[in-house]
Each structure stands twice: as C-alpha cells, then as structure tokens.
Amino acid sequence: MRPDDPRDERSPLRPDITLPGLNPQNRFVTLGEDYFSRVEPEPLPDARLLHVNRDLAAELGLSPDSLDSPEFLALMSGNARLSGGCEIATVYAGHQFGVFVPQLGDGRAILLAQVQDTQGRWQDIQLKGAGPTPYSRFADGRAVLRSSIREYLAGSALHHLGIPSTRALSLVGSSLPLRRETIESAAVISRVAPCHVRFGQFEFFYYQGRHEALAPLADQVIEQHFPELFEHPQRHAAWLRIVVERSARLMAQWQTVGFCHGVMNTDNFSVLGLTLDYGPYGFLDAFDAHHICNHTDEGGRYAYDRQPEVGHWNCSRLLQACLPLLHEVPEQAVEIAQAILDAFPPTYTEAVTRRWRAKLGLVAEESDDPELINRLLTIMHRSRADFTRSFRMLSELESATDAAPRLRDYVGDLEAFDAWLDDYRARLRREHSDDAQRRQNMNAVNPKYVLRNWMAQGAIEQAQQGDATEIDRLMRLLARPYDEQPDMERYFAEPPAWAQHIEVSCSS
C-alpha cells in the first residue's frame, strides 16, 4: 500500500515479529520525511526460502536456529514486520545513460531497519522486490527469480574477491507470476550493506534547489561511517575526497577481475564506494576490451573499457551536487570540487597499475611496467583469450627455461606473444623471481573461479524447476575463488558454446 493512500494503516496481515540478534536503531528516519516515504511491503504468496547466506547472517548476529524459523521467512518475504523497524523507501535522482532524471527513488526496495552487526558496524537490511513504492513509476515493484538469483550470487562473489559490495542475506521464491518479456515467477532478496545512500540522493536535492537538505544527509553518512571526520574543519570536502578515491579504486578492482557493471548510472553509485545494484552485469569470458554486457546499452556507454571514465564522470556529478557543502562562494566551491575530482585519475592509475603488476607476479616497480601490461592485454584482446583462465594459467610459467606455458595454446598472434614472453621472462629474472613464490602470489590475486553468466544461468534454470542445489553449490564455490577446488574443476573449463548467446538487460 502506498503511504499517501487514504487507507494508510498497518496491514493486519503482517504481524510484528522479533528476531534475536536484530536490534533496529533506524538512524536514517531521523532525517525526516523529505528523504523518504513510509511504505509497507506487499505480502508475498506461497513464499519459500530458497537460500540463506549463513556467513552474513552470523556477521549480523543471527543464530543458525533463527534462520530456519517461520519468523525469518515471514520477515524476509515481506509477510511480517520487524518490531522496531522502519519500512521506508528513499527518494533520489540520477543521470541514467548520461541523461538527468529529476526523480527516481527506491522503486522496489524497502529498508526494513538499520542495525549494528557483531563488529559494531552499521548495516542496512533492505528488501528488494517486495512490492511498489511511491517511486515505482507505474511498475509492480516486484523482482523476478532470474534477476534475484543473479544479484544474490553476485554480491557474494564480489565480496569474496575482496571487492566492496552490497550482499544479500536471503533469497525467497514464490509462485506469484510476473510479466516481463515472458511470464516469470517472483522473488525477494534481503540486501545488506553498511549504507545504501547513492550519488543520486545528493543530486535530487541539489537540482531541486533544496540545498539545505544536503548537509544533514552528508553529516549522517559521515557520523555513521567516517566518524573520524566529524570534527574536521572541512569535513564535507574531506569526505568527498574519500568517496572519489574509493570510487577510483573500485574501478581498478572491477577492471582487473574483468567485471562489467552494465548500468553505471549515478543512482547506482554508492557514497561508500560499494558495488551497488546488480542488473545486467557480467564477468568477461573471451577478452574484448570493448565488451558491452548490457543488451540495452546500444551505444556502449558502459562498455568494459569505458568504466573508469564513467566512474570519473559520475564523481564529477556528485561533486556538482555537493557544491553548496564546499563553500558559500560558488567560485571557491568549484575550485575545491575540482581539486577533489583531480584526485581520481592518479588514484585510479596507481591502483590499477599496482593490481595489474600483482596479476603478473611482479614485485619490483619499473617504468615500462604499463607497456608490458598493455602488450599482454592487446594480445589477449586480439586473440579473444579467456580473461580469467589466461591470468590463472600465466602463473604456471617457468622463468628460467624456454618451455612454452599452457597459456600459449589459447592465444593467437604467437609471434607477438612469444616476443612478449621473452620480455616477461627477462623482467622476472631481473628481479630474481622465485617461480614457486611467484605462482603462490599470482594465484592469490588471480581468481580461478568467477561468476560467469553460464554458471548463473544454470542455477536459474534449476531454481525455476524448484531445485536450489546449484545456488548452494555456487555459493560454496565463490566463497573460495582463489583456491584450487578439485571437485569444482568443471567451473574452470572453457565456457560452453551456448554461453555466447546469453543476453542480459535491464529487464527484471
């Protein structure tokens, strides 16, 4: 039910429950209703728990027994309220594919509560797919099982790769039919993150001319997540510089594991530097530097090789929206913002070069490292060599001999590759590289397993038949992406031919 509905009253069909370990504190609602709307999830018929992220549950302080309880299922499906919770949807704007949209908002996401985990860190618990909100833009506010599985798996996959990300606590399925391109079944995930505040929330108030609303939102983010800055004389500038630098490092992490986000709109960028909103994402199979993972992105705005550029541009939009926080004199605010934005390129370059260097097992730093890295990437691009497999197999190279590494069988342009190998071996010898130690170091940063589209598709098809076995298997696999897992070796094989025809888009 929408909060402005004249029938606005608490549904008797949704009882209040408590879950030991979850103690709502709900700091966001203290900002006032300029920032959100109160809304109740719609009850989900035939709700069934498909999977629980038990590691995340333990971080939140939930007992194993509570995860199997009817109360947990009722809460995570939207069929019950958390006693003391808040149930709100936030408002925001955003640049979508470069075009400003003045009002967006949580169209199908409802914040249940803010809690502190076992380490004292703030965490939002949010239902996604639990029905319409005032920001649903005439949509049903639901999510289909297909996209919910993809987000459930992806958040865990990136987290275990060491990449900051939202995660999902639970995946609930239903027989409720939803019309997308075809009829699909509904699902709800409970999304967990330290904070879901987006760049677009600052854009909303800036472009509406409601500049007085910017500081309270920024200050709450700072107080909860950057408390060391709260007494800083220029706390907003200091915080924004951290956001820009975190965003730059996040782009470096995406690029060096071959992750493509697909919808890098400003409303999908986090003020904590988290990977936020998993729509048509994908990990690279055959390496194409211009790969577009989003079937809807006809112009390639969010292609793999453009992600750092877009991240930089998105930060400029955040800084534009926060100019009133930086100085009362507009010209001086612009100067401060530009100085903050100027930190993005060097931060990204340092982070991405360091990560590429580590992926090649290089310990020392030399001036021609970028050239060595780019030559390999160019060969891989021309050969359409598999991104993840190539770097993993490169660790097998023996630097003291001329023996051909296994990777040579998977690249084209052998003349260029052999010349690169000669230079790479010479580089390793100059730093007296120990092959065994280098192999260990490389395998600690080059994952053996990533969440490829074909893997997610297999889990989706099984779950659509009522079987969540593959979801569980992939969650276990992706929790140890850098480890050898002999019983999971088939997930390291070359992707099946049919995987080339998988298309993902914004439809979910």
Catalytic residues: 267
Confirm or deny that 262 is annotated as ligand binding.
Answer: no
Cα–Cα separations (whole angstroms), residue 385 to 281, 286, 288, 293, 389? 20, 5, 9, 17, 8
Confirm or deny that 81 is annotated as ligand binding.
Answer: no
Cross-strand bridge partners of residue 144: 186
Residue of 154, 144, 189 lying closest to 260 (CA atoms): 154
Confirm or deny that 392 is annotated as ligand binding.
Answer: no
What's the per-residue H, E or C state across 68-91? CCHHHHHHHHCCCEECCCCCEEEC
Confirm or deny that 105 is annotated as ligand binding.
Answer: yes
Confirm or deny that 277 is annotated as ligand binding.
Answer: yes
Confirm or deny that 265 is annotated as ligand binding.
Answer: no
What's the per-residue H, E or C state across 212-264? HHHHHHHHHHHHHHCHHHCCCCCHHHHHHHHHHHHHHHHHHHHHHHCEECCCC
Confirm or deny that 108 is annotated as ligand binding.
Answer: yes
Confirm or deny that 141 is annotated as ligand binding.
Answer: yes
Task: Round to whole Å and give the CA distance between 332 and 339.
Answer: 11
Taking CB atoms within 8 Å and a gap of at least 24, the contacts of 345-349 are 345/248, 345/312, 347/244, 347/245, 347/248, 347/249, 348/248, 348/249, 348/251, 348/252, 348/308, 348/311, 348/312
CB atoms within 10 A of CB 162: 13
Confirm or deny that 300 is annotated as ligand binding.
Answer: no
Q: Determine which helix (DSSP H) or strand (DSSP E) holds 37, and give its type and residue range.
A: strand 36-38
Q: Six-digit token pair at 375?
A: 């030559």
CB atoms within 10 A of CB 350: 13
Binding residues for ATP: 105, 107-108, 128, 140-141, 191, 198, 277
Report the binding-site residues for Mg(2+): 268, 277
Residues forming the annotated binding site? 105, 107-108, 128, 140-141, 191, 198, 268, 277
